[in-house]
Chain A
């Protein structure tokens, strides 16, 4: 593939390029939050409680006089970090089980039945239930999201593996006397990467929504740790008094989710031309 191709491809799709840049920018700013944020995210300032957004506090302050912009910037780490780690865990667990479902009919049936149990819950409800059991906290939010999305990765990988298994190259590998596990991981896996990549982008956006919903409801990340949802949770009692505490973090959630959705659609167009959104 010529080197200029992806760049030219992106230039013709400014929306997808913008989405990619947004995610990159958020990750970068979140990583450098210590250097970029104007204040400490937990520095209390009694003389500036509920300051409106102005030049010294661009996004205003909350009920403890903490700078909202700084909290949101540090919140990138927490919110994107939890979502990223959770989806990585879900991908690893669900993906591996999905590959193993290709071992044989009995394994497939047993794993399928097990996953059905998790599919029996609306995603956010399962996450809330797990959070209720484990007790609020960032680790809880991560585990809850991973458990919710692992079955989805299982289903996607399993479906692709089963479809690939009918291909001629698999028959050829079998005829050569390769073991089933070797065929699965050495030959089939490289061919099912595309749906996994698409699924990962889409699930990341849902994971951000679920983390913020859990924290907003009070069963995820707890104050004073700044996650976007937790900041919204602290702002909800003062919505009419200090709307900025609710408005800004929510806008960041939407921005991140929107960018990931656009990116997911774009990836689908590239990697799975058959399903191109015309």
Chain B
């Protein structure tokens, strides 16, 4: 197990290095230099100002020097400073993190709560009308664009049900009820596709397990059907479902950008989009890098968890 872990960590380190090169390179690919973007018209008139800006940001250095100093900063936990506010990127990120983390965790939570029972029921009811209805609902859930679903929910609740949560963000620690009221619709929206995915996975995994010999043996021994379903089958069927949930948590990292925009939540996704529109590239660069690292870590954690459960995978 340790050898497998080391091998995976080394591979991840290599990939992260590639990711840092890619992110650094992409920002440098932007047409025109970043300084002109930042200064706008002023850049045209005064070469001295441009020169001093370039020196200030280290842009007068050769590319590899710029990259190495950025990388060095990264290794020390320094992601650079925002061009607009002058504040450290890491600080800006951490400030917004609780909103996004809460959103992601709640979304995965509710999708598991909905998806596992639905998928299990669908498998147990195999082939009937109820199974068909759940399968259709799951396919529908996968096809809903999050930004549209969010808009429909806002309309439904505000126009027709007269319920409008506060537009002002309230932290959970300040008012748990107020916070959850704000989070309810975004969490519902963000978790829909994941819930649909988990339903499908739980269904097919459960069907697979229900066809196994040990389930037949249990039935032959006269074990009651609920006990076969929940005690013998479900436990084993859940292993791949947990993996899917973990992978989905990673995709939710991307989904928060869209959902935070729809519901105007002050999270990491909002920070990224604002930085893109304001051309605040150190922030764009830093946030994308951190989110990619989070995504990779989640994927690695899922693989490790899976390797713990199924030793055959360790040979990878």
Which residues of A come within 8 Å of B, CB atoms?
113-114, 116-117, 120-125, 128-130, 132-133, 135, 205, 209, 212-213, 216-219, 229, 232, 236, 239-240, 243, 246-247, 250-251, 253-254, 257-258, 261-262, 265, 277-278
Q: B19: which of A117, A122, A240, A253 is its contact (CB, 8 Å)? A: A117
Question: Distance in Å from the Cβ of B34 to the closest Cβ of chain A?
Answer: 11
Contact of B251 among A122, A247, A262, A265 (CB under 8 A): A122
Chain A residues contacting B151 (CB-CB under 8 Å) are 232, 236, 239, 243, 246-247, 250
Q: Knowing A120-B16, A135-B31, say if A250 contacts B254 (CB, 8 Å).
A: no
Tell me the nearest residue of chain A to B138, going by C-beta.
A261
B305 at the interface (CB under 8 A from A): no
B134 adjacent to chain A (CB < 8 Å): no
CB pair B148–A257 under 8 Å, yes or no, is no
A120 engages B295 (CB within 8 Å): yes
CB distance from A267 to the nearest CB of B (A): 14
| CB of B298 to closest CB in A, whole Å | 10
Check if B239 is an interface residue, CB within 8 A of chain A: no
The reply to whether B292 and A128 contact each other, CB–CB distance below 8 Å, is no
- For A253, the chain B residues whose CB sits under 8 A away are 145, 148
| A residues in contact with B154, CB < 8 Å | 239-240
- Give min CB distance, B96 to chain A, whole Å: 15
Interface of B is mostly: helix
Complex alpha-carbon distance, A84 and B30, angstroms: 26
Residues of A within 8 A of B15 (CB): 113, 116-117, 120
Q: Whole-angstrom distance from the CB of B155 to the nearest CB of chain A?
A: 5
- Mostly, the A contact residues are helix
- Tell which of B143, B251, B277 has the most Cβ of chain A within 10 Å: B143
Q: Which listed segment binds A: B21-29, B49-57, B167-175, B212-220?
A: B21-29
Q: Mark the stretch among B67-75, B176-184, B255-263 that contacts chain A.
A: B255-263
Within 8 Å CB of A261, what residues of B? 139, 142-143
B291 within 8 A of partner (CB): yes
- Known interface pairs A121-B295, A261-B139. Does A209 touch B145 (Cβ–Cβ under 8 Å)? yes
Q: Digit string of B137-153 for contact with A (CB within 8 Å is 1, else 0)? A: 00110111111100110
Q: A218 CA to B148 CA in the complex, in Å?
A: 15
Are A133 and B257 within 8 A (Cβ)?
no
Top 9 closest A-B pairs, CB basis? A122-B254, A250-B148, A117-B18, A258-B143, A124-B254, A257-B143, A132-B276, A125-B254, A116-B15
Q: Is the CB of A240 within 8 A of B18?
A: no
Q: List 29 A-B contacts (CB under 8 A).
A: A114-B18, A116-B11, A116-B15, A117-B19, A120-B19, A120-B296, A121-B254, A121-B288, A121-B292, A121-B295, A122-B292, A132-B284, A133-B26, A135-B31, A205-B143, A216-B145, A216-B258, A216-B261, A217-B258, A217-B273, A240-B155, A240-B159, A246-B148, A250-B145, A250-B148, A253-B145, A258-B143, A261-B142, A265-B139
| Whole-angstrom distance between the Cβ of A133 and the nearest chain B Cβ | 5
CB-based contact B140/A113 at 8 Å: no
Does B103 lie at the interface of the complex (its beta carbon under 8 Å from any beta carbon of A)?
no
Taking the nearest CB of chain B, how far is it from the CB of A59, in angstroms? Answer: 15
Q: Provided the pairs A114-B18, A116-B11 are in contact, do residues A125 and B288 lie with their beta carbons within 8 angstroms?
A: yes
Interface size on B, residues (CB 8 A): 50
Interface check B253, CB cutoff 8 A = yes
Q: Check B14 for interface membership: any CB of A closer than 8 A.
A: yes
Within 8 Å of chain A (Cβ to Cβ): is B207?
yes
* Smallest Cβ-Cβ distance to A265: which chain B residue: B139
- Chain A residues, CB < 8 A from B142: 257, 261
Contacts of B161-198 to chain A: CB distance below 8 A: none
In the bound complex, CA of A123 to CA of B30 (Å): 21
In the complex, given contacts A120-B292, A216-B147, A258-B140, what are 4 additional A-B residue pairs having Cβ atoms less than 8 angstroms apart? Answer: A113-B18, A120-B295, A133-B30, A218-B277
Min CB distance A135 to B, Å, is: 7
Chain A residue numbers with a CB within 8 Å of B29 are 133
**How close is B56's CB to chain A, nearest CB, in angstroms?**
23
- Proximity bits, B7-46, A CB within 8 Å = 1, else 0: 0000100111011001100110111000000000000000
> B158 at the A/B interface (Cβ < 8 Å)?
yes
